[in-house]
Amino acid sequence: METITDQNWLLSVGTFLPLAGVLVMLFVPKSEEYWHKVIALVTAGATLGVGIYTLTQFDYDQSAKMQFFVDTEWIEVIKSNYIVGLDGISLPLYFLSMVITFLVIVYTWDNMPEAGNAKAFLILMLVLQTGMAGTFIAQDLILFFVFFEVVLLPMYFMIGVWGGENRQYASLKFFLYTMFGSALMLVAFLALFFQTDAQSFSFAHLVEAGPLVDKDVQVWIFSGMFIGFAVKVPMFPFHTWLPDAHTEAPTQGSVILAAILLKLGTYGFVRIAIPMLPEGAVEWAPWIGLLAVIGIIYGALGCLAQTDMKRLIAFSSVAHMGFVMLGISTLTTFGINAALFGMVAHGLITGMLFFIAGSVKHRYHTLEIKRMSGLLTQVPKLAWILGFCAMASLGLPGLAGFWGEFPAILSAYNPGFGLPEETFRTFMVVAAIGTVLAASYLLWLYQRMAFGEPTEEFSGHGPAAHAVGAAPNDEHEHGDHDLHDVTLVEWIAWIPILIAIIVLGVYPHLLFNFIDPAVTELVGRLGESIGP
Amino acid sequence: MISTILAQVGDFVSPVIDWHALAPELVLVVGINLVLFIDLWVDESKKWAMATLTGFVLLGAFLPVVTLAVVGDDVRSMFDGRYVIDEYALVLKAVFLLTAYVVVLMSQTELEEGGYYQGEFYVLLLASVLGMVMMTSSRDLVSIFVALELLSIPAYMLAAWRKRDRKSNEAGVKYYLLGVFASAVLLYGMSFLYGTTGSTRLVDIGAELGDELMAMQVLGIVFVIAGFGFKISAVPFHTWAPDTYEGAPTPVTAFLSVAAKAAGFVALVPLIFIAFPAADSVYQPFLWVLAALTMTVGNVIALRQTNIVRLLAYSSVSQGGFILMPLAVVGTGDGADSALKAVVFYLIVYAFMNLGAFAIVIAVARKTRSGNITSYGGLFSYSPGLATLMTIFLASLAGIPPFGGFWAKFNVFRAMLDAGGWAAASLAVVGAVNSVIAVGYYMGVLREMWMRPVPDGDTTTITPPAPIWAALGITAAATLVLGIFPGLVLRFGDLQDLTGALGG
pLDDT tens digits, A341-361: 999 999 999 999 999 999 998
Helices A152-162 and A141-150, axial angle in degrees (round to 10): 10
Q: Assign A479 a pLDDT band (cuts: 50, 70, 90).
A: very low
Contacts A190 to B, Cβ<8 Å: 413-414, 417
The secondary structure element, H or E, covering residue A69 is: strand A67-75
Q: How far is CA A258 from CA A135, B126, B164, B347, in A?
A: 16, 56, 58, 40
Query: Which amino acid makes up residue B288?
Result: W
Q: How far is CA A194 from CA A81, A187, A197, A280, B135, in A?
A: 16, 11, 6, 17, 35
Q: Does B400 touch chain A (CB under 8 A)?
A: yes
Given a cut of 70, whether residue B434 has pLDDT beyond it is: yes
Of B40, B37, B44, B147, the C-alpha closest to B92 is B147
Half-sphere exposure of B345 (CA within 13 A, CB side): 32
Of A40, A185, A54, A23, the C-alpha closest to A102 is A40
CA angle B397, B399, B401 (to 5 degrees): 120
Q: Assign A467 a pLDDT band (cuts: 50, 70, 90).
A: very low
* Residue B258 to residue B265: CA distance in whole angstroms: 11
Q: How close, in Å, is residue A250 to chain B by CA atoms?
A: 14
Question: DSSP letters of B242-270?
Answer: HHHHHHS-HHHHHHIIIIIHHHHHHHHHH
Q: What proportion of chain B, given as a percentage, has pLDDT over 90?
A: 41
> Measured between CB atoms, which of A150, A171, A191 is closest to B401?
A150
* Residue B321 to residue B234: CA distance in whole angstroms: 7
Given a cut of 80, whether residue B14 has pLDDT beyond it is: no
The complex's ipTM? Answer: 0.88
Q: Do B414 and A190 touch (CB under 8 A)?
A: yes
Q: Assign A469 a pLDDT band (cuts: 50, 70, 90).
A: very low
pLDDT value, residue B10: 63
Q: Do A186 and B491 touch (CB under 8 A)?
A: no
pLDDT value, residue B199: 87
> Measured between CB atoms, which of B417, B418, B439 is closest to A176?
B439
Q: How far is CA B6 from CA A260, B9, B13, B469, in A?
A: 83, 5, 13, 58
> Which are the contacts of B1, defined by CB distance < 8 A and separation ≥ 6?
none
> Measured between CB atoms, which of B341, B435, B451 is closest to A77?
B341
Q: How close, in Å, is residue B415 to chain A by CA atoms?
A: 10
As beta bridge partners, residue A196 has none
The secondary structure element, H or E, covering residue A94 is: helix A91-108
Q: How close, in Å, is residue B470 to chain A by CA atoms?
A: 18
What's the whole-number mean pLDDT along residues B160-165?
Answer: 83
What's the whole-number mean pLDDT along residues A513-519?
Answer: 91
Q: How close, in Å, is residue A273 to chain B by CA atoms?
A: 19
> Which are the contacts of B227, defined by CB distance < 8 A and separation ≥ 6?
B182, B183, B185, B186, B187, B189
Report the Cα A157 to chain-centroid distance in Å: 18
Which residue of A lies nearest to B418 if distances are taken between CA atoms? Answer: A194
Q: Do A149 and B406 touch (CB under 8 A)?
A: yes
Contact B328, B284 (CB under 8 A): yes
pLDDT value, residue B495: 66
Q: Do B486 and A75 touch (CB under 8 A)?
A: yes
Q: Do B401 and A146 touch (CB under 8 A)?
A: yes
Query: Which amino acid makes up residue A400?
Result: A
Q: Do B451 and A160 touch (CB under 8 A)?
A: yes
Q: Does B443 touch chain A (CB under 8 A)?
A: yes
* Residue A220 to residue A226: CA distance in whole angstroms: 10
pLDDT in tens, A120-173: 999 999 999 999 999 999 999 999 999 999 998 999 999 999 988 888 899 989
Contacts B439 to A, Cβ<8 Å: 175-176, 179
Which residue of B lies nearest to A30 if distances are taken between CA atoms? Answer: B384
Q: Does B380 touch chain A (CB under 8 A)?
A: yes
- In angstroms, the first-to-last Cα distance of chain A is 21
* Residue A251 to residue A253: CA distance in whole angstroms: 5
pLDDT in tens, B455-500: 887 778 888 888 899 999 999 999 999 988 888 877 776 666 666 5
* Residue B390 to residue A212: CA distance in whole angstroms: 45
Given a cut of 80, whether residue A477 has pLDDT beyond it is: no
Of A242, A94, A232, the C-alpha closest to A170 is A242
Which residue of A lies nearest to B449 if distances are taken between CA atoms? Answer: A161
pLDDT value, residue B115: 66
User: Is the C-alpha dihedral spanning B475, B477, B480, B482 positive or negative?
Assistant: negative
Of A333, A266, A271, the C-alpha closest to A521 is A333
pLDDT in tens, B323-378: 999 998 886 556 788 888 889 999 999 999 999 999 999 999 888 888 888 888 88
What's the whole-number mean pLDDT along residues B70-97?
Answer: 83
DSSP for residue B85: E
Helices A152-162 and A118-137, axial angle in degrees (round to 10): 150
CA angle B89, B94, B99 (to 5 degrees): 125
pLDDT in tens, B264-292: 999 999 888 888 888 888 888 899 999 99
Q: Do A120 and B380 touch (CB under 8 A)?
A: yes
DSSP for residue B502: G
Asked if omega into A237 is within 30° of 0 (cis), the reply is yes
Burial of B302: CB neighbours in 10 Å, binned 0-12, 13-18, 19+: buried
B175 vs B111, more confident: B175
What's the whole-number mean pLDDT along residues A69-73?
Answer: 90
pLDDT value, residue B498: 66
Q: How far is CA B176 from CA B158, B162, B294, B428, in A?
A: 11, 15, 21, 34
Contact A277, A211 (CB under 8 A): yes
What's the whole-number mean pLDDT along residues B385-399?
Answer: 93
Q: How many CB atoms lie within 10 A of CB B56?
A: 14
What's the whole-number mean pLDDT along residues B76-85?
Answer: 81
Contacts A145 to B, Cβ<8 Å: 401
pLDDT value, residue A468: 43
Q: How close, in Å, is residue A269 to chain B by CA atoms?
A: 21
pLDDT in tens, A198-209: 889 999 999 988
Contact B173, B64 (CB under 8 A): no
Q: Do B491 and A149 touch (CB under 8 A)?
A: no
* Residue B492 to residue B87: CA distance in whole angstroms: 7
Given a cut of 80, whether residue A457 has pLDDT beyond it is: no
pLDDT in tens, A263-292: 999 999 999 999 999 999 999 999 999 999
Question: DSSP letters of B147-180?
Answer: HHHHHHHHHHHHHT-STT-HHHHHHHHHHHHHHH
> Measured between CB atoms, which of B411, B451, B490 is closest to A167?
B451
Which residue of A lies nearest to B334 if distances are taken between CA atoms? Answer: A194
* Residue A44 to residue B434: CA distance in whole angstroms: 38
Asked if omega into B402 is within 30° of 0 (cis), the reply is yes
Contact B112, B118 (CB under 8 A): yes
Q: Assign A480 a pLDDT band (cuts: 50, 70, 90).
A: very low
Burial of B6: CB neighbours in 10 Å, binned 0-12, 13-18, 19+: exposed
Q: How close, in Å, is residue A429 to chain B by CA atoms?
A: 39
pLDDT value, residue B127: 94
* Residue B240 to residue B253: CA distance in whole angstroms: 12
> Which are the contacts of A125, defined by CB distance < 8 A and separation ≥ 6?
A40, A101, A104, A105, A108, A154, A158, A252, A256
pLDDT value, residue B1: 60
Whole-number mean pLDDT of chain A? 88
> Which are the contacts of B299, defined by CB distance < 8 A and separation ≥ 6?
B314, B315, B318, B434, B437, B438, B441
Q: Does B439 touch chain A (CB under 8 A)?
A: yes
Torsion of CA A252, A256, A262, A267, to 10 degrees: 180
User: Is the C-alpha dihedral spanning B123, B128, B132, B135 positive or negative?
Assistant: positive
Given a cut of 90, whether residue A368 has pLDDT beyond it is: no
pLDDT value, residue A1: 63
* Residue A445 to residue B333: CA distance in whole angstroms: 61
3-state secondary structure of A109: coil
Given a cut of 90, whether residue B205 has pLDDT beyond it is: no
Q: Do A75 and B447 touch (CB under 8 A)?
A: no
* Residue A208 to residue B497: CA distance in whole angstroms: 35
A interface with B, Cβ–Cβ < 8 A, is 30, 73-78, 117, 120, 142, 145-146, 149-150, 152-153, 156-157, 160-161, 167-168, 171-172, 175-176, 179-180, 183-184, 186-187, 190-191, 193-194, 198
Q: How far is CA A231 from CA A143, A157, B396, in A?
A: 20, 19, 23
Poorest-pLDDT segment among A473-487, B135-149, B399-413: A473-487
Contacts B395 to A, Cβ<8 Å: 153
Q: Assign A474 a pLDDT band (cuts: 50, 70, 90).
A: very low
pLDDT value, residue A110: 85
Q: Do A168 and B395 touch (CB under 8 A)?
A: no
Question: DSSP letters of B399-456?
Answer: T-TTSHHHHHHHHHHHHHHHH-HHHHHHHHHHHHHHHHHHHHHHHHHHHHHHHSPPSS
Q: Do A176 and B440 touch (CB under 8 A)?
A: yes
